[in-house]
Amino acid sequence: MIETYLLEQLVAVRKHGTLVAAAESMNISQPAISKSMKKLEDMMDIQLFVRTNRKIELNKTGMFFADRAAELLSQEENMLEQVYAYDRNLRNISVGSCAPIPFWELTPVLTSLFAEMSVTTRTEDNDHLIKGLKQNLYQLIVTSCDPKNSDFYTAKFITESMSVSVPKSHPFYNLEKITPKDMQGQFLIVYNEIGIWEDWIHDHFPGIHLMTVSDTDALRDAIGLGAALSFVSDYVANMGYHNKEQKIVPLDMEDKTITYFLSCRKKDYSKYRKVFGRLISR
Amino acid sequence: MIETYLLEQLVAVRKHGTLVAAAESMNISQPAISKSMKKLEDMMDIQLFVRTNRKIELNKTGMFFADRAAELLSQEENMLEQVYAYDRNLRNISVGSCAPIPFWELTPVLTSLFAEMSVTTRTEDNDHLIKGLKQNLYQLIVTSCDPKNSDFYTAKFITESMSVSVPKSHPFYNLEKITPKDMQGQFLIVYNEIGIWEDWIHDHFPGIHLMTVSDTDALRDAIGLGAALSFVSDYVANMGYHNKEQKIVPLDMEDKTITYFLSCRKKDYSKYRKVFGRLISR
DNA sequence: GTCGATTACGTATTACGTAACAATT
DNA sequence: AATTGTTACGTAATACGTAATCGAC
């Protein structure tokens, strides 16, 4: 069989036209290429070049060979990538979610069940998540709607509800409930990466002034100033992560709750059965 | 990029299970394979084997890699075959015909028009010829019917008619015409490789006794004995290649003439235009 | 002791570089 | 003179072999 470096050099010659240019592109000397091409012809036992004085040119067969060789080399590269991807998937679990909260539940379970594996998380919209799971870019995804894909195993996961956290000095402080209409013109502090909730805000709270903060400490401080409203999810509140000097006032609206769905590929269900078992039961 | 010999050795290890067996199968020593596999792991920078004492085994990634490598190597082999086929087609013209006579016309024209190329001829039945032209196993074919293929350029070529050559001593010597019915029970000397004419004889002359001869000199001698009838085509007769002591008696039947069709692939017509020009005009 | 893999070391191959040369432009 | 390819020769890398060693049956 022909060694790879010979094919690489052949392709370089085809690409650059001359031995000099090909040699330069590969950081080797011209005589090296010259000999390699001779060796190729010797091994194949057919003419690949027409050699006039001072010029060497690929003949038809040589060009055909070089083009095929280029294809083969790209297939080889592709193969190596596949091997790396395969290996990575053996020691890493990629989890995608449309919002960050589900990670709070998922990550601890995954790291304890798959101690020897690394866990990668990423927040994306539902469409990308579903596409990603199909392509095995994700092994687990959390969406805000049922993907209803026959290749997926899907189960209802957790729910998350939004309320408003109101500072003492704010006129809403004594309200029992707050409607989306109330919120028009209000300033609202939110965390940068809230995934699907960002769309939710834009859809249900037109005319609101968002102040996004990309750092969790800065977020806490900004809320602590007591100058503006902020959203607080029941999950955050239950964990005690909200500002206790502010009052949590429920929203008076239908869609204040999102139901999350956890999915994996049916192929992989046996591998992640325990994950579903631990998370879905309660 | 990974050199081919490393992939070959990896595939051998996968196939034979142990380094010893793999080494033996490749006629190299175990330490050589051992080092190659280490080098592969080094270059890839991932684990491919689980090494217990006394045993080395491919892990999942290693097996995946080896399987992909085997695919790649077979693609490489396939590529080399393609290159050889391409090269061969550049310096050889393969011509197929359903009978030998068309070669008498074709070969001289081809060898003079394509002096630097070799010409390969082969007699086969129409179906194989058409299939062969599709697959470019033939560049030109002569069939006894119009292939009517939209990828082919086809032109009516020559015609060939059969008559009976009758020895002086034979009772048919004074007949004006001979019908297929007359031929029943007669002995008939024919050349071995007459292609489509063999089918023609079986179809139109049931109950005839064929004596096939595979050597042209032997054929002439056998006919010269004057013991049996033989077929003589107008082409052979016009060339003066028939036995002049015998009488050529026409057949009294419809299908005594075959019309030949010459075809090439439309793609290649520009290349063979001159061939058609020289052969079809008269 | 046998078998399979690794380690150590030596060798032969060979891929590559440098230098000189030949042949065009 | 500058550019391109080949030839000649030397060198460094390396693929492979032999022999010894380790560990498990």
For chain B, the structural domain boundaries read 4-79, 87-158+258-280, 161-257
Strand A140-143, strand A92-97: pairing: parallel
Chain B residues within 8 A of A84 when measuring between CB atoms? 44, 46
CB of A154 closer than 8 Å to CB of A272: no
Give CA–CA dist B73/A167, Å, rounded.
70
| pLDDT of A226 above 90 | no
CA→C1' distance for B83 and D2 (Å): 37
Residue bearing tokens 């990974």: B2
Same CATH fold assignment for domains B4-79 and B87-158+258-280: no
Q: CB-hemisphere CA count at 13 Å for A158?
A: 18
pLDDT at position A227 is 86
Q: Cα-flanking dihedrals φ and ψ of residue B215, to 5°?
A: -125, 135
| pLDDT of A181 above 80 | yes
Q: Which two tokens stand for residue A98?
A: 């449309």
| pLDDT of A111 above 80 | yes
Chain B residues within 8 A of A76 when measuring between CB atoms? 1-2, 72
Show the CA angle centred on residue A206, arms to residues A202 and A211, nearest 5°. 65
Q: CB-hemisphere CA count at 13 Å for B252?
A: 8
Work out the number of other CB atoms within 10 angstroms of the CB of residue B148: 10
**Integer CA distances (angstroms), A264 to A100, A116, A150, B190, in order:** 18, 20, 11, 75
Architecture of domain A4-79: Orthogonal Bundle (1.10)
Chain B residues within 8 A of A87 when measuring between CB atoms? 46, 61
Q: Could you tell me which residues of chain B have a Cβ less than 8 Å from any Cβ in chain A?
A: 1-5, 8, 44, 46, 60-61, 64-65, 68-69, 71-73, 75-77, 79-80, 82-84, 86-87, 90
pLDDT at position A281 is 60
Footprint of strand C on the protein (CB under 7 A): A 3, 5, 9, 23, 27-32, 35-36, 39, 53-54; B 18-20, 30-31, 34-35, 37-38, 49, 51, 53-56
Residue nearest to nucleotide D25 (CA to C1'): B54
pLDDT at position B226 is 86
Question: If we measure between CA atoms, which residue out of A184, A229, A189 comes closest to residue A207?
Answer: A184
Q: Which fold has domain B87-158+258-280?
A: D-Maltodextrin-Binding Protein; domain 2 (3.40.190)
- Arithmetic mean of pLDDT over chain A: 93
pLDDT at position B54 is 79
pLDDT in tens, A61-96: 999 999 999 999 999 999 999 999 999 989 999 999
pLDDT at position A242 is 86
Q: Which two tokens stand for residue B30?
A: 């175990």
pLDDT at position B53 is 76
Give CA–CA dist B172/B249, Å, rounded.
9
pLDDT in tens, A242-258: 888 899 999 999 999 99
Instruction: Chunk chain B into consecutive blocks of 10 residues (it has 282) and report each block's average pLDDT, rounded to whole numbers.
Output: 94 92 92 94 93 88 96 97 93 96 95 94 96 95 96 96 93 92 92 92 92 89 90 90 90 94 96 93 54
CB of B230 closer than 8 Å to CB of B188: yes
Chain B nearest-CA distance from A115, in A, is: 19
Q: Which two tokens stand for residue B119?
A: 């010409």
Q: Which fold has domain A161-257?
A: D-Maltodextrin-Binding Protein; domain 2 (3.40.190)
A131 CB-near residues (< 8 Å, 6+ apart):
none
Q: Which nucleotides of C are covered by protein (CB under 7 A)?
A: 3-9, 15-20, 22-25
Q: What mean pLDDT comes out for the span A19-47?
A: 93
Q: What mean pLDDT comes out for the span A183-203?
A: 92
pLDDT at position B281 is 60
pLDDT at position A192 is 85
* H or E segment and range at residue A56: strand A55-58
Q: What is the pTM of this model?
A: 0.76
Chain A nearest-CA distance from B204, in A, is: 49
What is the share, in percent, of chain A residues with pLDDT greater than 90? 84
pLDDT at position A261 is 97
CA→C1' distance for A53 and C25 (Å): 12
A169 CB-near residues (< 8 Å, 6+ apart):
A226
Picking from B26, B45, B77, B79 by the largest number of A CB atoms within 10 A of its own CB, the best residue to mutate is B79
